[in-house]
Each structure stands twice: as C-alpha cells, then as structure tokens.
Amino acid sequence: MAPQRPLLGQSGQMRAISRAATRRAAQSCPKCTVAASPARPTLLARKTMPSSRYESTSKDARLELQNALNQLNKHLPNAMNLSRLQLALQGLQKPAGQEIIRIAVLGLGDTTIVARKLLRAILSDPLTDEQPWETQLDGYDPNVPLVVRVGPTGSYGSTLEFARHNPVEELHISSPQFNNLNLEFLVLNVNAVASPSQAGADSAVEEAILVPSVDIASAQDRVSPMTTPVHQAIVVGENFGGAVQLANLPIEHLSQSIIGAVDMPKITTDQLHGHFKVVDVTQAQEAVRLFRQGPQNAVQYEKLWFASNLPAITTWLRQSSASPDRQTKPAMKHLLTSLVESANASVKEQEAELEAMIDAPKMSDAVTAAMEAGLSDWSRAAHAELQSEMDKAFAGRRWRKLGWWKLFWRVDDVGMLTNDILSQRFLPTSENNLIHLAGRIAEQRGSVPLYSQPVSETSQSSKEPTDRALAPLAPKSLPRWPGHIGFTRRYLKDETIPALQALAQRLVVQSLGTSTISATLAGLLYVSSFSTTFYEVGAVAALGIVYGLGRMQKKWEAAREYWEGEVREEGRKAVRGTEQSVIKALSSDAEIPEHLAADISAAKELVEKASDALSKMK
C-alpha cells in the first residue's frame, strides 16, 4: 500500500511515519517500510460495494444525461460552452469513479516558476528519495505549457516521459498519494482575468478560468490559440501583487472548482482576510528535504509542512477527485451541474426574448417607410463600398506581392496577406452602418425583431433550404442584426484561403520538382554522351524549367482571378441577403418561424431531462 502524507493533529500517524522511517534506515528498503493491514480496507469495500441494480441504475442515468446533453447541443448550439461540454461527455463515457480529472495550475502574469514549485511540493513523496521527474519539472521551459499526468509506474508507459513531438510538453510521473485519483495537471501562464460586474459574473469568471487558452505554434512561426477545458483550477500568485490580482477575482463562491493560492513567506491567510490561500512553497520544499534526510527530522517536517499551508491545497484536491463507493467524482459532478444550469439559464433567456417579440407592437406605416428608405440607402452604399474597396485591394501592394514569380519566397505569406485583405477591405463600414440601422429599427419597434441568419450549407439537411443567405438560425441570444457580412467573411477565411494557400505550396513544389528533374536529366545526358554539347544540355534543362514555370504561372493566375471573383460575388450575396433579412423583419406580416419556438420548447424539455438524470446519477 502506498505511503500517505501525515495529517495535522494525528500524532499516531506521525509516530507510524517515524517508525517506518527508522525501519527504512535499518533495512535500506524504502518500498517495504510502510505496510497497512489489508483487513480493514477489504471489510470496508464489502460493506460499501454497490449492488448490481444500483450500478445499473447509475449507468442508465449517465447514458440518459449524455444523450440529453448531445440533443440539447443540437437544438441550441450555443447554450453551453462547447469545450466544457466535450470534456463532460468524455467523462460520462468512463465508469463512475474512474473519470480523469484535469486541473489547471495557472500562474498569474509571470509566476509559472512559482506554480511549478507549488505543483512539485504537492506531488512529492517525503518517504522516497528525490525522483527524476522533480529535477525535470524544475528544468522545463516556463514559457511552454506543460501537462503533468499522474499515475502508477507503467500506466503511462514509463515513470518519466516527455512527448517531444506534441505541441504541448507532457510529463508522466508517479506520486503514491495521488496515483489512484486519475489526475492531470496543466501548468501555464495566464493574464489577469477581467472581473465582470454584470449579472452572472460568477459563471463568466468560472468559464474564463476553466477554459484556458494554450498557444500552439504554427508552420509559419506564428501561434494559434487552442482551448483546453479543465474541471478545476489552482490560480497561483506571488507576493502582494498576486494577492491584489486574486482579490479582484470574484472566486469566493467558486470554491468547488477554483482555488486561489498566493506564495507569501511569513504571512498567513488570517492576516490578509482574502478568499484565497496564503502558502509558503519554500517552507514546504524544505520540509520534504529535511524528512528525506532521516526520521530524526519528523517533528520539524510536520511543523514546516503545516506552516506552509499546502495541506489546504492537497485536501481540496482529494475531496474533489476522490470517489468513494464508485460514485461520480465531485469535480465531474460539479462540471455537469454547471453545464445544466448554463443551459437552463440560456433557455429561459431565449424564452423571455421570444415572448417579448410576440408581444411587441407593430411599427406604423410611416416609420416602416422611413426604415425601408434607410435600408435602401444602406444597400446602395454597401454595393458601392464593395466595388471600390475590392478594386483598391486587388490593385494594392498586398495583392501584387502574390505574383506567380514571387511565390518562391512568399508562399507562406499567402494566408496572412489574403486574411488582411478580407479583414480591412471586406465591407467594414457597411457592417458598422448595419448595426446602427438595426439599432434604429429596434428603437422604433420597441423590441429587437427576428432577423433570418446565414447557415453553413454543411449543417443543413436535404429538406432545408440551400440558400446560405436566407436560412434562419437560433443561437444562444436572438440575433440583434443580420450576420451575413461577418458570416461570409468567416466563410472566405476558413474555406477559400486554406485552399488557396495549399494550391500555392503545391505549385511551388511541382515547379521545383520539374526543374530539378529536367536539370538532372540534362546532367545525365551530358555525362553519358561525349557528343552532347553544353548548349544541347542547357536546352534540355531550360525546356523543363520553362515548362514548370509556365504551368505554375497559368494555374496560379487562374486561381487568383477565380478567388478575386469569388470574393466579389460572395460580397454581393451578403449584401442581398442582409437586405432581404431586414425587409422581412420590417414587413407587417412577418411571422416568427415555427421551428424557433419548437426548438426552445424541445430544449426546455431536454434541460428537465438532463436535470432529472443528474439527480439520479451517483
């Protein structure tokens, strides 16, 4: 049985540790010094063993909750945080009590080194000598996110292993006191989290902390953020600056999922009166070091260890990650509860907005006519802006940088330059003016009308309309204005630019390949035949090079012309779709789509089903 860390006030355990350390010094066998009688754990296991009927009911409840969350995400995609939902669904697929709990150790500002030392002190075992992973943890790059997986030796392949080819470094360790809890720690830096003042501040802060973003390096020496959802988080600060940052975070009501820790030597939690733990990592490390030197330091170890206040962190970890009687772990259950509550709040919000739209008064004919005139002016200005801005963009310096003969040194800049063109030139003024027009309409109407929104063609079934500009959509909050321009911009960035980038890279490789083959063939011809002159060999090489470059020029210029035409046409579709959406909302006989009320009603039933399944799940 793995040795455990001593607890405060339990002198019997301290005496047991002292005796164990004495036996270890005499016998030189650290793995066999502490042994517990197996009789009591076996008896407890028999008493708390669930029946087959109980276990079957728990499995049915987990499956019912999993199906309800999946169906709820289909009806209202933005009702729950997608990253946290995926983490919850992964946990539900495992048996109760065997869920992997992910915990983020977040260093505020530049306190990753302190966060790393805190994690090392928590996971270190004082009954064993210093392990290789402890030195490795101290030496890793603090600017690179690190995942620490805790498990018995062999469960992850080896006690110490780094995944060199992964975008995030991984460290696999064995810690006897935490091996049976299935824990994973994510260590990284974060900026100070904003403290919202509006309603729902707790949920907003919880979501911001529990879904941290990890920067992943791309092939173009750039970084792209990737969300990494976790069940719990330890937010670590240092000295008074970290205490001030943690004091500004409203986490006092989030103790089940978030705990704050500030490394401040010679200061106690009672002296600061904050909703965070004041710890002394240096004292904790010194306590472990002294105990490893011999059993004579057991009393000093206990004094330093509890003075460091790290037992408060370890107790919090155990209480949320332990699973008595094969029940769902508390951290997992809190995540599920948070998702169901978020979905319930979203459904209530949409239901209230739908009722407000139904009860909203109709606009008079004069006001409707004025709004239609404003829409007509907006449409003319939008078409004019599209034509003038696209002409400037495709005659500008950025677009000229992508000439076919410049691809050899600018092939990796295709995505960046085309993204800049869309971000700065694709109807930015018209989009801002549309928001202003939608605000005027809402003011005259007394409520926000329902605008039809664009939907990706891949998400539509065969029975739904295929016009991307006219299909309705029901997001988390009813749309305040038509989103056709932003949707089209994202579509062009996500769908067309990667294809253009891939084509450029493929053409460069093909051109270089053709040139290399022709030059190699010319060289072989010159070596194998004494009658072949240098001019004949040069002609063969030049023919291959000219052919490769000519094919590259033809295909790339055709692709550029096609992309230019596609951007212009998609812009015209976005303007027309926006105009039709506003006209439909302004018409006196505009009706709320039946599917919207049906989706809200179905989502409400699914939330009730998920709540019922969660209450039955053990």
**β-bridge mates for residue 172, sequence order:** 149
Using a 10 angstrom Cβ sphere, with 0-12 exposed, 13-18 middle and 19 or more buried, the burial of residue 50 is middle
Selection from 569, 568, 386, 577 nearest residue 481 by Cα: 577
Question: How many other C-beta atoms are found inside a 10 Å radius of the C-beta of residue 294?
Answer: 12
501-559 confidence digits (pLDDT tens)? 999 999 999 998 888 888 888 888 777 776 677 777 788 888 888 888 889 999 999 99
329-347 confidence digits (pLDDT tens)? 999 999 999 999 989 988 8
Q: List Cβ neighbours of 147 (8 Å cut-off, separation of 6 or more).
A: 168, 169, 170, 171, 184, 185, 186, 187
| Residues 107 and 189 sit within 8 Å (Cβ to Cβ) | yes
Banded pLDDT at 5 (limits 50, 70, 90)? very low
Q: List Cβ neighbours of 114 (8 Å cut-off, separation of 6 or more).
A: 107, 236, 238, 263, 281
Q: How far apart are CA 306 and CA 465, in angstroms?
A: 66
Q: Where are the alpha helices (DSSP H) in 363-482?
A: 365-394, 397-400, 407-410, 414-425, 428-445
Q: How far apart are CA 414 and CA 417, in angstroms?
A: 5
Model pLDDT, residue 275:
80
| Residues 342 and 75 sit within 8 Å (Cβ to Cβ) | no
Percent of the chain at pLDDT exceeding 70: 77
The two structure tokens encoding residue 196 = 């919202």
Q: How far apart are CA 546 and CA 405, in angstroms?
A: 12
DSSP state of 362: P
SS3 at position 264: coil
Backbone angles phi, psi at 232, to 5 degrees: -140, 170
CA dihedral 520, 524, 530, 536 (to 10 degrees): -30
Tell me the residue type at 356: A
- Reported in sequence order, the residue ranges of 165-255 that DSSP labels E, i.e. its strands, are 169-173, 183-190, 213-217, 223-227, 232-238
Cα-trace Rg, the chain: 32
Average pLDDT, the chain: 78
Tell me the residue type at 494: D
Q: Which residues of 327-348 are buried (b: 16+ CB within 10 A; e: fewer)?
A: bbbbbbbbbbebbbebbbbbbe
Tell me the residue type at 187: V
Banded pLDDT at 492 (limits 50, 70, 90)? very high
Query: Is residue 351's pLDDT more than 80?
Result: yes
Query: Is residue 352's pLDDT more than 90?
Result: no
Model pLDDT, residue 289:
92
Model pLDDT, residue 430:
93
Model pLDDT, residue 388:
94
Model pLDDT, residue 332:
93
The two structure tokens encoding residue 472 = 């309705």
Percent of the chain at pLDDT exceeding 90: 31
SS3 at position 214: strand
| Residues 231 and 224 sit within 8 Å (Cβ to Cβ) | no
- Which string of DSSP letters, residue by residue, matches 217-228? E-TTS-EEEEE-
Selection from 601, 598, 618, 617 nearest residue 64 by Cα: 617
Which is higher by pLDDT, 326 or 30? 326
Which is higher by pLDDT, 162 or 197? 197
Query: Is residue 25's pLDDT more than 80?
Result: no
pTM for the predicted model, two decimal places: 0.63
Which is higher by pLDDT, 575 or 445? 575
∠ CA 112-114-115 to the nearest 5 degrees? 60
Model pLDDT, residue 456:
61
Model pLDDT, residue 200:
52
Query: Is residue 95's pLDDT more than 50?
Result: yes
Selection from 369, 274, 324 nearest residue 50 by Cα: 324
366-412 confidence digits (pLDDT tens)? 878 888 899 999 999 999 999 999 999 999 888 988 888 888 888 88
Q: How far apart are CA 270 and CA 280, in angstroms?
A: 14
Q: Which residues of 495-516 are buried (b: 16+ CB within 10 A; e: fewer)?
A: ebbeebbebbeebbeebeebbe
Model pLDDT, residue 361:
66
| Residues 313 and 299 sit within 8 Å (Cβ to Cβ) | no
Q: List Cβ neighbours of 493 (8 Å cut-off, separation of 6 or more).
A: 419, 422
Q: How far apart are CA 474 and CA 343, in angstroms?
A: 14
Model pLDDT, residue 611:
92
Query: Is residue 496's pLDDT more than 60?
Result: yes
Q: How far apart are CA 439 and CA 417, in angstroms?
A: 33
* Max CA distance (Å), the chain: 99
Average pLDDT over residues 76-96: 88
Q: Where are the alpha helices (DSSP H) in 81-190?
A: 82-92, 112-123, 132-139
| Residues 378 and 433 sit within 8 Å (Cβ to Cβ) | yes
Tell me the residue type at 530: F
Backbone angles phi, psi at 423, to 5 degrees: -70, -35
Average pLDDT over residues 59-64: 86
Model pLDDT, residue 544:
84
Note the Cα 528 to chain centre separation in Å: 60
Query: Is residue 88's pLDDT more than 70?
Result: yes
Highest mean pLDDT of the ranges 31-45, 138-152, 211-225, 346-360: 138-152
SS3 at position 555: helix
64-78 confidence digits (pLDDT tens)? 999 999 998 888 877
378-391 confidence digits (pLDDT tens)? 999 999 999 999 99
Q: How far apart are CA 478 and CA 470, in angstroms?
A: 16
